[in-house]
Chains A and B, each alone.
Chain A
Amino acid sequence: MAATPQLQLRCCAASGCRSAGSEALQAALLAARDQLGGAADAVTIKPVGCLRLCGRGPLVAVDRSGGDGQEPSAGSTELYAELTPEQAPALLAAATGLGEGPAAAQRLDPAHPFFALQKPVVLEGCGVVNPESIDDALAHGSYAQLKRVLLECSPEQVRDQVKRSGLRGRGGAGYPTGLKWDTVALQPPGPRYVVCNADEGDPGAFMDRSVLESDPHRLIEGMAIAAYAVGAEQGYVYVRAEYPLAIERLRLALRQARGKGLLGGGIAGSSFNLRLEVRVGAGAYVCGEETALLASIQGQRGTPRPRPPYPAQKGLWDAPTLINNVETLASIPVILREGGDWYASIGTEGSKGTKVFALSGAVANTGLVEVPMGTSLRTVVQTIGGGVPGAEGPDGGVKAVQTGGPSGGCIPAHLLDTPVDYESLKALGSMMGSGGLVVMGETTAMPEVARHFMRFSVNESCGKCVPCRAGTVQLLQLLDRFVERRATLADLERLEELCTMVGATSLCGLGQAAPNPVLSTLRYFRQEYQAACRDPDQCEPLDACLLQEVTR
C-alpha cells in the first residue's frame, strides 16, 4: 500500500504566541482535524516552541512529506501568521490541498531574510520539538551527547572541547566558558555545584525564556554535561517567577528526565549522579547577579557580595560553584556533537559561535533571532528586523539600538555597521548583555530613554551599597531635569561626575553598569542633553523676549 502523504502542523506554544491565542487555535485545529474523517490520520498537530516571528503570532508551520512515508521535513514548509481559531478549517483545507487557505498576507515567506539569515544552533530544536514530550526530544537527539560523553569521554576531554569551541558566557560579561569550567574543576576535592542562571530580567530580553519554553531538555542535557565536566552532583536552575510557563515546562522536563534515568543516580548506566532542582526567584532583578543569585538559592536576602572570592572558588555553601547562563549551557550539546572546532569556525576571532537576540521595539519583525557572531547590527536590525515600520532612508528610520538592557547602551544609527561581538559593543560604550535588542525610531528622545533605564535601576537596586542605592536616585532626579527641560550646564557636569562615581565605586555589576545608558546617550546624543539645558547666560534677555511678545 502506498503511504499517504503525511502532514505535520507545528503550532507555536511559547509565551509570545500563547498571549496571542495559540492555545485556542491549536484546539480549533484539533477539532477541524477530527472533521476530516479518514484523512485525519495523516495529519499530525503538535505543539512546539518558538517559531521566531513573535510579533505576528500565533504562528503555525505546515510540513509536508513527499508521500513516500518519510518523516515530514522542514524542506517543504509553509508558515502562517496571525491565525484565528475560525481560520483553522481553512488552514487544514489548504494544507491538505482541498481548499482555499487563509489570506495570502498571513502566509510568510520562509526565504525572507528574517528566516533565511538565521543560523539555529542553540535554537535548533526550538520550534521543532514538542517541549512537553521527552520522547519527541529523544527522537530529535536530546541526551545523545550526555550518554556518549559518560561512556567515552573523561571530564578533561569534555572541558577541552568546550575550550576549543571558544564559547564565552552568554549572560553578558562574556567570560570564557572553558576557563570557568577548569577553574571549578581544578579546585581542591570536595562537593561542587552547578547552577544555571535563568533569571533573565533585562527589559526586552526573552532569549532564555524561549529556550526554556521551547527545548528544556537541551538545557538539562547541557547542565548534566557541565556537571560531569566539573565533578558536581547537585545543580540548581534559578528561574525568575515571572516565567510561569518556562518553570512549568522545565519542571515537567526534569520529571521526565528522572523517569528515563537521565538524571538521578547512575545516569545512563554510568557511575555519574546528578540531582537537579528548580529554584524560583521572587521578583528581584539583582538576583541575576551571580553572588546575589547564590545567596537567594541559599535562602538568604538576594544581595551581591564583593568578589573575589569568585563563585568558582567559593560559591554555594562555600563550595566551588559553576554558574552559567541558559544560552551558554544550551550550546554545550551541539558543541560536543559537532566538535569544539566546528563551533569555533562560526563567528569572529574573539567571539565564537552564534548569539540569540530578542529583537523588539520600533522594528517591523519582532521576535527571536539567532545569528553568527560578527553579523552587523545593520543586518540584524534592518535586513532581518525590517527597520522601523513605515520609515524610509538609509538607516531605515532607526535612530539607535539599545543593547544590554539597563546595563548596556544606545548605539546610534551611524554605527549600525558594527559587527555584533563582545569587544566591538564594549568599545561603543554598550555591551553584548544577554541579547535584548531594542530598536528606537527617530521620534525617541534620548534623555527619556536614559531616564527610563535609570528608573529601572533605582527600582531594582538592592540597596546594599551607597553609590547604587543613593547615587541612582540622584541620577534619576538629574535626568528628570533634562527630560523636563529645566536643567543647567552645571547639571550636565554633575550628571557626568556622578555617573563616573557610581560606575567606578558600586559593589556589583548592576550598579557599575547602571550609568551606562546615560553615558552612552551622552556620548552619541549630547546635543539632546544640551538642548534641554537652560543656561541663564545663554537665554535672551528678558526685555528682548517681552519685546517679541509685544511686536507679535
Chain B
Amino acid sequence: MSVHTLTVDGVEVAVPEGASLLDAVRAAGVELPTLCHLDGLSPVGACRLCLVEMESSGHLQPACATAAGEGMAVLTQTPQLQHYRRMAVELFFAEGNHVCAFCVANGNCELQDVAVAVGMDHSRFPYQYPNRRVDASHPQFAIDHHRCILCTRCVRVCDEIEGAHVWDVANRGSECSIIAGLDQPWGEVQACTSCGKCVDVCPTGAIFRKDDTTGEKEANRERAGLLRSAREHHQWQNQ
C-alpha cells in the first residue's frame, strides 16, 4: 500500500493512498468542524465547514471530498477560513427554525456543537422563519423539517447502507426539502424498513424517535461507519 505524505498547518502527516484530506487533517490531530460528512457515507462537500486552503494555490477545497495527494500543504485555521466557517454556521441557523430550548436533540446536536466550536453566539443574518412541515406519520419516527439542515446524511445512509432509498431531495435552493418516497407521508412509504439509521445519522433533531422528548435524543452516529467497515473488511465488532 502506498502512502502519501503531506503537511497540515505545517505538521507532516502520512496517510494511505485513497485517504481524504479530512483523514489527513485528523491524522495531524487537528479538529475540523463537519456537518454533512459522516464516516461510512460518501462525501458530498455541501456544508462547506471543512474547507481548507491549499497553500500552493490559495484555493479552498472541502477536505471531506478531496483526495489527499503527495506533497500537498493545507492550512485549516487561517483567520479567513474561521471567518467563513462562522458565517456558514450563521447561515444554517438563520435559514431554519432552530430553537434549542425545546429541541429533542438539545445537548446532542452537531449543529449546536459546531456553533460552539466556531464561537457563534448570534447570527448577523436575519432569521428567515421558514414555513415548514412536521411529518409524524411513521409509527416509530418523525421528521421535523424546521430543524433540517439538508446535509443529506439520511438520504445517503438509506441509499448506501440500508439500500432502501426512502429519502431524497425535492425542489431547488431555499425551497429544498427532504422527501420520503415520492413525496409521500413517511408512514406510507412501503420501502421504509424502519431500521432507524436515518435517526442515528441525523446531525440535528430533524429526524427523531417519537419516544424522545426535549433533550432526549441519543443518536448512534458511528453506526454508518461501523456497518460500512464491517461489510468492506468482513470484521464485526464482536469478532
Q: Which residue numbers of A lie inside 8 Å of B, CB to CB?
A: 284, 286, 301, 305-306, 308, 458-474, 477, 494, 497-498, 501, 504-507
Contact = CB atoms under 8 A, between A and B. Distances in A.
Contacts of B149: 466
B44 A305 contact: yes
Contacts of B91: 466-467, 470-471, 474
B95 interface: yes
Given A305-B44, A469-B150, A477-B126, A505 B60 contact: yes
Interface in B114-129: 124-126, 128
A463 B45 contact: no
20 contacts: A301-B169, A305-B45, A460-B173, A465-B46, A465-B48, A466-B46, A466-B47, A466-B91, A467-B91, A469-B174, A470-B92, A470-B94, A471-B91, A473-B174, A474-B94, A501-B84, A505-B60, A505-B84, A505-B88, A507-B48
A504 B81 CA distance: 10
Contacts of A301: 168-169
7 nearest A-B residue pairs (beta carbon): A463-B176, A461-B173, A470-B91, A470-B95, A306-B45, A306-B65, A463-B173
A463 B151 CA distance: 10
Contacts of B66: 306, 308
Contact of B95 (A464, A473, A494, A498): A473
B51 interface: yes
B171 interface: yes
Given A458-B174, A466-B48, A471-B91, 14 more contacts: A301-B168, A305-B45, A306-B45, A306-B66, A461-B173, A464-B46, A467-B88, A467-B91, A470-B94, A473-B95, A498-B125, A504-B60, A506-B48, A507-B62
A468 B125 CA distance: 14
Interface in B40-90: 43-48, 51, 60-62, 65-67, 80, 83-84, 87-88
Interface of B: 43-48, 51, 60-62, 65-67, 80, 83-84, 87-88, 91-92, 94-95, 124-126, 128, 149-150, 168-169, 171-176
A466 B45 contact: no
B173 A458 contact: yes
Contacts of A459: 172-173
Contacts of A284: 172
Contacts of A464: 44, 46, 150
Given A301-B168, A459-B173, A463-B175, A498 B87 contact: yes
Contact of A461 (B45, B84, B168, B172): B172
Contacts of B44: 305, 464
Contacts of A306: 43, 45, 61-62, 65-66
Nearest to B150: A463
A472 to B, nearest CB: 7
Contacts of A466: 46-48, 88, 91-92, 95, 149
A471 B168 CA distance: 23
Contacts of A461: 172-174
Contacts, number: 95
A61 to B, nearest CB: 43
Contacts of A463: 150, 169, 171-176
Nearest to B47: A466
Q: Is the interface of A mostly helix, strand, loop or mixed?
A: helix
A471 B128 CA distance: 12
Nearest to B61: A306
Contacts of B168: 301
Contacts of B176: 463, 469
Contacts of A506: 48
Nearest to A304: B45
A273 to B, nearest CB: 34
B231 to A, nearest CB: 21
A462 B94 contact: no
A473 B169 contact: no
A469 B96 CA distance: 12
B172 A460 contact: yes
A473 B126 CA distance: 11
A458 B95 CA distance: 13
A325 B125 CA distance: 38
Contacts of A497: 87
A466 B45 CA distance: 10
B98 to A, nearest CB: 13
A286 B150 CA distance: 18
A192 B2 CA distance: 28
Given A459-B173, A462-B173, A507 B45 contact: yes
Contact of A470 (B45, B60, B124, B174): B174
Nearest to B96: A470
Nearest to B66: A306
Contacts of A470: 91-92, 94-95, 174
Contacts of B124: 494
Contacts of B174: 458, 461, 463, 469-470, 473
A353 B128 CA distance: 48
A99 B150 CA distance: 70
A315 to B, nearest CB: 16
A469 B95 contact: yes
A477 B127 CA distance: 11
A465 B149 CA distance: 10
A462 B168 CA distance: 14
Contacts of B47: 465-466
A173 to B, nearest CB: 15
Residue from B45, B66, B94 having most chain A Cβ neighbours under 10 A: B45
A451 to B, nearest CB: 16
Contacts of B61: 306
Residue from B47, B171, B174 having most chain A Cβ neighbours under 10 A: B174
B48 A467 contact: yes
A497 B171 CA distance: 28
Nearest to A461: B173
A458 B173 CA distance: 6
B122 to A, nearest CB: 14
A526 B103 CA distance: 44
Contacts of A473: 95, 128, 173-174
B177 to A, nearest CB: 9
Contacts of A458: 173-174
Contact of A501 (B87, B94, B95, B150): B87
Contacts of B60: 504-505
A55 to B, nearest CB: 32
A477 B47 CA distance: 22
A466 B123 CA distance: 15
